[in-house]
């Protein structure tokens, strides 16, 4: 987070009678991976599928033989603004203006994790997060060539992985971990008091985090 901004804001809030804990809470925005949708593998939309037909599996295998495995889906990033006025501090609306991220996918079942980086991206724009505690969901279009994952796991396991992430019965919060997602994020938000950037970045998973 921008150090000069944090110090100036902390002095303003402390001079108004806020405690140190209140100041730290005021500086927060919270993030988590919310959901996935519209998952396609090799052009096949699997978002309404629980399994693949023989023909669909053959299509994916043909891509694999050519050294390709295009995967596309939308990932919803949940963002929550805790500055709702309930703690006695002022309400503020914040705006996400930039998000530099790397995306990782868990490739094995069970308690252990085996994450593989599958994509990276940069969001640049204006995405508002209100001051009423409502979760705002930013849809990020994810596209990558999953052939690296194909080589690691083989066709059958990759199909299972894709269905675990994006199929009709898929659940990224499944206790067996298969298909879970993790993001390493460097966000910037705009506030009425100035811009804030988490310069060192932080991990975003399925539970809320403020980067601390």
What would the pLDDT profile of 29-60 be if each residue is shown by its tens digit? 899 999 999 999 999 999 888 888 999 988 98
At 88 the pLDDT is 66
HSE on the CB side for 133, CA within 13 Å?
4
Place of tokens 């079942």: 109
Residues 6+ apart with CB under 8 A from 143: 70, 71, 72, 119
CA distance readout (Å), 148 to 14, 36, 61, 116, 141: 51, 21, 14, 9, 20
Query: In this structure, are residues 204 and 32 in contact, taking their beta carbons and an 8 Å threshold?
Result: yes
Give pLDDT tens digits for 119-173: 999 999 999 998 888 899 999 999 999 888 877 777 778 888 888 888 877 778 7
Tokens of 65: 């033989």
Pairing label, strands 70-80, 115-129: unpaired
């Amino acid at each position: 987070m921008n150090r000069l901004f944090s110090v100036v804001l902390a002095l303003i809030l402390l001079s108004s009678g806020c405690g140190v804990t209140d100041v730290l809470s005021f500086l927060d925005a919270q993030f988590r991976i919310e959901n996935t949708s519209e998952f396609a593998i090799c052009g096949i939309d699997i978002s309404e599928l629980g399994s693949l037909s023989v023909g669909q599996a053959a299509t994916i295998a043909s891509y694999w033989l050519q050294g390709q495995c295009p995967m596309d889906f939308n990932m919803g990033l949940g963002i929550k603004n805790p500055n709702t006025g309930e703690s006695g501090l002022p309400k503020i609306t914040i705006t996400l203006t930039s998000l530099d991220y790397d995306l990782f996918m868990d490739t094995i079942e069970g308690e252990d994790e085996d994450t593989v980086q599958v994509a990276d991206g940069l969001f640049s724009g204006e995405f508002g997060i209100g001051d009423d505690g409502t979760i705002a969901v930013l849809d990020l279009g994810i596209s990558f060539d999953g052939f690296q994952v194909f080589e690691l796991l083989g066709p059958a396991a990759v199909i299972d992985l894709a269905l675990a992430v994006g199929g009709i019965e898929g659940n990224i919060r499944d206790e067996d971990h298969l298909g879970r997602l993790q993001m390493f994020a460097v966000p910037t938000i705009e506030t009425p008091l100035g811009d804030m950037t988490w310069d060192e970045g932080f991990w975003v998973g399925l539970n809320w985090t403020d980067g601390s």
